[in-house]
Copies of this chain bind each other. A is one copy, B any other.
Amino acid sequence: MIAAKDDTIKEEILEQAQKLFQQFGVKKTTMEDIARAMGKGKSTLYYYFCSKEDIFDAVILKEMEEVFSSVSHAVEKAGSAEEKLKAFTLTKIRSLHRKANLYKIVSGEMQDNMRCIKHLHTEYDLRETRLLKEILEFGVGNGEFTRLITKELDILPSVIVSSLRGLERDVFVEGKYTRLVTRMESIVGILIRGLQNTTHLNSRSIANTNTRKQII
């Protein structure tokens, strides 16, 4: 019960801090701003949190919690694994997009840092996308890949490029390069299975497994 009241005030603090962070950015909001926003003294904040970074972390954690719980909820609601997977990705994107709108000052500052190489980056992405498209076209013409992707051939290459960039990021922010090769092989394996021509796939997989009776 005692802890309950504590938590109420803690949440109040986080709420106010969140609002201020969104409005003015993290750096520009002072502890006094937060304290003033809830009509309390500054040092009161330190009764509930031990540092500003603590508050910041808690706010971010709360935001993440909201994203995750909405994703989690959407996944639970979905019936099939396929729908779960779709729910997972789409819900997260939507949720993130909403957050990005709230923190548009912050995301604006983030863009400023990247601005210098953006034009080169997008140009490179274009080349890469073209190459990837050629590979996919080659695969389709080859009979290796399914013709089902033909209509997606304008969108799929750039999507794959974006996805791979997520993996490439791991090379830089973490030292997990050694694992990355196997990680890469793992996802590319699934990707290829997804692209493969079903008939082509079957002729192999039927030979390796005994599921023929289910097929016919």
Contact = CB atoms under 8 A, between A and B. Distances in A.
A81 B164 contact: no
Interface of A: 57, 60-61, 64, 68, 71-72, 75, 80-82, 84-86, 88-90, 92-93, 96-97, 100, 107, 110-111, 113-114, 117-118, 120, 124, 127-128, 131-132, 135-136, 138-139, 142, 144-146, 149, 152, 155-156, 158-160, 162-173, 177, 179-196, 198-199, 201-203, 205-206, 209, 211, 214-216
Main secondary structure of the interface of A (DSSP, over half): helix
B57 A93 contact: no
The 7 closest A-B pairs by CB, nearest first: A166-B166, A81-B139, A194-B194, A193-B194, A190-B194, A163-B163, A165-B166
Contacts of A185: 86, 90
Contact of A128 (B68, B81, B120, B136): B68
Contact of A142 (B71, B80, B205): B80
A138 B199 CA distance: 27
Given A191-B85, A214-B199, A92 B159 contact: no
Nearest to A82: B192
Contacts of A191: 85, 190-191, 194
Nearest to A194: B194
Q: Which of A81, A118, A209 has the most CB of B within 10 A?
A: A81
B162 A166 contact: yes
A148 to B, nearest CB: 8
A180 to B, nearest CB: 6
Nearest to A178: B97
A131 B64 CA distance: 14
B186 A60 contact: no
Contacts of A90: 181, 184-185
